[in-house]
A and B are shown apart, each in its own frame.
Chain A
Amino acid sequence: MAIKKFSSKYEAAWSDANQQLLCLDTGTWRTKRPVVNVEKCTYCGLCAIYCPPQCMKIMPDHFEPDLNFCKGCGVCAKECLRGAITMMPEGDFDNEGKKG
């Protein structure tokens, strides 16, 4: 029997860059999340340089992790010279990301 119904429209392991298909939602692996203190951030970019999956997003005056991909490794918090990033337990946040 020839199978006709496929979940991917593609022939190979291609995926739209902004689509979840075949992209791992590594954010769900996280037990701690980096929280950036915008006041302390000097916009130096060290966190973005050191972030292994390159998930630090460039905001107008500070950096912010993309929580869809951030695995919570803590490298950014360790490297930040100003101590502007703190790793907070995931349990402190609800689904909307608010601190409980």
Chain B
Amino acid sequence: MKAKKGELKVITGNSAAAYGAMLCRPDVVASYPITPQTEVVEQLSKFHADGVLEAEMIEVEGENSAMNAVAAATLAGGRAFTATSSWGLVYMYDAVLQAAGFRAPVVMANVNRETPGILAVSSGQQDMIQTRDAGWIQVIVENSQEILDTIIMAFRLAEDYDIQLPVMVNYDGFYISYLAEGVRIPAKDDVDQFLAVLKTQPKRTIMDPTHPIGAGSHGLMTEFMELRYKHCAALDRAKKKFDEIDKDYGDFFGRSYGGQIEEYRTEDADFVILTSGSAVGTSRTVVDAKRAEGVKVGLIKLRMFRPFPQEKLIKAIKGKKAVGVIDRSVNFGWNSGPIYTELRALYPEIGPMPILSFIDGLASIDITKPHIERVIDDVANAAKGKPYQAVTWIPLEERE
């Protein structure tokens, strides 16, 4: 059975996030405004005022309370949504860790922005990177339609009985958050139907006054370790589950995104480049142009960052001659890009090949077509066995 086509609207990425959340009928929404996420809260409040959204809207005094409110709401058996960015994410960090440890299936939109201590009201994935070890599922999306679709998928993933983990949907602030483009908005009853499978699953443990339990109890030694193991095991299961949900979504709504990663012209490629977020769209265009020139380059879009899609990446990259990674953030202490260093962990499996790190797009520097052409040229040379530079800070070198 297929879903109805849905209404086509020209909306911003932030609006798309609000639509996605609203369509899933959350019981509780608690969110504190911060640039570039503010419009998400505005739009959700408008939905609530218009009677379209019947959630409990909690006006919180900060992000820390927002995360605690939504995590508690899910522990009480509800569905909850929040959104934040950058300093807001930092300000709720202890609650972010709590939510993951509580296995609270919160869905949060994180509108990527640079983080302290250099004040920058501009785009960058550093906020997401700083939360990578919090135990959340982290997904990175590319455009407004994917934001809306992924938030709906995120609720199904988070609340799945086998997963029970919070999900963070990341999209580039400023670039996607404020860009208005055509978005298909699914019908509410179709979204209900897509999420209905959750109701057929066993009930997850919730705070129920008739059967009192303690949440966040003290974990002692092996009990503590056992819970860590279960958390890791659930993250591991989330990879395959995300692929399945993405496929289900595609079968029903007619749009899917490849699950953990999307491969673009990789099959017969000699070498590949890997990136995420809004840079993927530009990269596709450049890959097409290079292909027209006879350069056998492929592109991998990283959608799932946590858990890290090892198996998928090994399959996609093994046998290629080189890989280049464009990061919109830095890995302090490695002096390179974070996704690059994660990929390097797969070196034994993907075999001997040059892996190149490109740092670009910090603080809203545009990741332009010439930048990506340069990446492809560098990786092509490395693939031919020529000497290469391991880490390149593209905009800084350009300036010299």
Q: Which residues of A contact B (CB under 8 A)?
A: 2-3, 6-8, 10-17, 21-24
Contacts and interface: CB of A to CB of B under 8 A. Distances in A.
A7 B234 CA distance: 17
B311 interface: no
22 contacts: A2-B233, A6-B226, A7-B226, A8-B223, A8-B226, A11-B164, A11-B204, A11-B234, A12-B101, A12-B227, A12-B230, A12-B231, A13-B218, A14-B214, A15-B217, A21-B217, A22-B218, A22-B219, A22-B220, A22-B223, A23-B217, A24-B220
Contacts of A21: 217, 223
B223 A14 contact: no
Interface string B234-248: 100000000000000
A60 to B, nearest CB: 23
Contacts of B233: 2
Contacts of A22: 214, 217-220, 223
- How many B residues are at the interface, by size bracket? 20 to 34
Nearest to A21: B223
A24 B222 CA distance: 14
Contact of A13 (B204, B212, B216): B216
Given A13-B219, A14-B205, 17 more contacts: A10-B205, A12-B103, A12-B215, A12-B227, A12-B230, A12-B231, A13-B101, A13-B216, A13-B217, A13-B227, A14-B213, A14-B215, A15-B213, A21-B217, A22-B219, A24-B218, A24-B220
A22 B215 CA distance: 10
Main secondary structure of the interface of A (DSSP, over half): loop
A60 B217 CA distance: 30
Contacts of A24: 218, 220
Interface in B196-215: 204-205, 212-215
A13 B234 CA distance: 15
B226 A13 contact: no
A10 B103 CA distance: 10
B205 A11 contact: yes
Given A3-B229, A6-B230, A22-B220, A11 B103 contact: yes
Nearest to B163: A11
